[in-house]
Amino acid sequence: MLQGAKLLKHKILIGLLYGCGLRCMEARGVRLQDLDFDRKQLKVVQGKGKKDRYVPLSEHLIRGLKKYIEAEKPQEYLFNGQPLPTGAGGDFDNRYSQRGVQWAVRQVAKAAGVKKEVHTHTLRHSYATHLLEDGMDIMTLKDLLGHQNIETTMEYLHIAQLESQRIFSPLDTLFSKCSRK
């Protein structure tokens, strides 16, 4: 999907959703001040449950973010939406809308030839599953995802194809220990 994104804005959006495991509302709320390129991390402010957390930023994403910021010159929020008409009312700001984020994800998935239906949360699920498959422990993943309960994070264990979950017989283990003696 990263290669299928035509617009730099969409490439960065996909990169944050997948590369940082962000929820849609968290990606929409990223402010420039939340990006710490020196420490290679993003501060997720007031995520679900109104808690702040830090997630790592990859070198690839940092390069893309710098390029995007230089080109688009966002003022406060990383992703700006369409400016609201004067006197529109309500408590809206000029962040990228939830509908806009979801549309961008669907368009990029379609352009990349992804046949399955893809949502913003699909990228978050992929982030969690891939980290588990790469050997991350469940407690660290819980913190990165901003989950309050470990049970929520444990759901990803059922999806992940973990090397340690290889099916075997206890006789194999027993006999391998006996043959070493």
Domain residue limits, the chain: 8-82+92-167
**Residue 119 falls in the annotated catalytic set:** no
* Cα 78 from Cα 68, distance rounded (Å): 9
**Residue 124 falls in the annotated catalytic set:** yes
Element (H, E) at 55: strand 53-56
Q: Tell me if residue 5 falls in helix, strand or coil.
A: coil
Quote the distance between the C-alpha of residue 106 and its chain's center.
16
Q: pLDDT digit string (tens) for 96-105?
A: 888 989 999 9
Q: Which of 23-27, 50-54, 64-68, 174-178 has the lowest mean pLDDT?
A: 174-178
What topology is assigned to 8-82+92-167 in CATH?
hpI Integrase; Chain A (1.10.443)
Of 11, 23, 28, 95, which is the active-site residue? 23
Compute how many other C-beta atoms are within 10 angstroms of the C-beta atom of residue 40.
13
Q: pLDDT digit string (tens) for 113-169?
A: 999 999 999 999 989 988 888 888 889 988 899 888 888 888 877 676 665 555 556
**Residue 158 falls in the annotated catalytic set:** no
Residue 86 pLDDT: 47
Of 11, 95, 142, 147, which is the active-site residue? 147
DSSP 107: H
Of 6, 40, 66, 121, which is the active-site residue? 121
Of 6, 39, 48, 60, which is the active-site residue? 48
Q: pLDDT digit string (tens) for 33-88?
A: 999 999 999 999 987 777 899 999 999 999 999 999 999 999 899 997 655 454 44
Residue 175 pLDDT: 60
Compute the residue count for the chain: 181
Q: Tell me if residue 42 falls in helix, strand or coil.
A: strand
Please report which confidence band the pLDDT of residue 17 belongs to, taking 50, 70 and 90 as the band edges. very high
Of 18, 124, 127, 142, which is the active-site residue? 124
**Residue 156 falls in the annotated catalytic set:** yes
Strand partners, 77: 31
Q: Is the pTM of this model over 0.85?
A: no
Q: How much of the chain, in percent, has pLDDT values that exceed 90?
A: 48
